[in-house]
Amino acid sequence: MSRGLWKTFPARKAHLISSACFHEAKLVKIALIGYGKMGREVEQAARQRGHAIAARIDPIADLGAASEISSQTIGGADVCVEFTHPEAAASNIEQVITLQKPLVVGTTGWYEHLPAIEKRVLQEKTGLVYAPNFSLGVNLFYRVVAAAARLFHRFEEYDVCGAETHHRLKVDSPSGTARKLSEIVLEHFPRKKRIVVDSLNRAIEPEEFHLVSLRAGHFPGTHSLAFDSAADTVELTHTARSRAGFAAGALLAAEWIVGRQGVYTFEQVLEDLLGGVE
């Protein structure tokens, strides 16, 4: 083959981002709202990054945790990180906003209160970051899935489906992450118009995106998409191995929100950190 048919290009330099890279920034004091498994995971990751734990708030946990949110308990914090329960989240958020502290919220199930909370955040001139999933890997996976869906939808021989697997104690099905992935597929794979999560005792319609859920054992969480044709299958999979990924994402958000005002999703935080990189 003639040399003229091949052309080489210089490698593009990329700005590398590490979840533990913000040593140039001022270290922050963190108040943990909720001191269960996730709160303790965030504490461990924060200490490894050099941050200080200013307070632990949990009415149930012992180990020196305070029982309520107040100016005395979180007054010395630069930012709060909230991982509790849906029933408690809205009240916790309101109290932290009233004290004009920036906040990262990993709890789900309170989003019906979001419009009112957005107004309160603006009134108190503070900041809030929320997400159904703070896993850094999952949020980058969303971007990979969106790009793949845009490519594959242009070739009519490819179909797409999804599956997710979690431990037997998980109470929701499909998972919030799986629902988000389904929304991404519908947005970027226009041939799919609606999501089907139930058993099908019929042939699937071409415009239906089938998402299946499995619950068994101790699986920490696996989400997969398959782009399938008669010739081959391309699969994309994210598998969680621990809570460390969630803690890393929550800390990135906590470092980012200090000094900012307004309500943001974790996707917006990553968009800012990545600078629009695809």
Q: Which of 29, 113, 153, 170 is catalytic?
A: 170
CA distance 23 to 50: 9
CA distance 37 to 168: 18
Active site residue 15: no
Contacts (Cβ under 8 Å, ≥6 apart) of 81: 30, 31, 32, 33, 39, 42, 103, 104, 106, 250, 251, 254
Active site residue 170: yes
Which domains are seen in the chain, by residue range? Answer: 22-135+243-274 (3.40.50.720), 137-239 (3.30.360.10)
CA distance 267 to 113: 20
How high is the pLDDT of residue 278? Answer: 54
Q: What are phi and psi of 159, to 5 degrees?
A: -110, 175
The rounded average pLDDT for each run of 10 residues, N- to C-terminus, in the chain (278 residues) is 44 50 68 94 94 92 80 96 93 97 93 95 97 91 97 98 93 86 97 94 96 94 97 97 91 96 95 76
- Global pTM value: 0.79
CA distance 267 to 139: 7
Q: Which of 166, 180, 192, 210 is catalytic?
A: 166
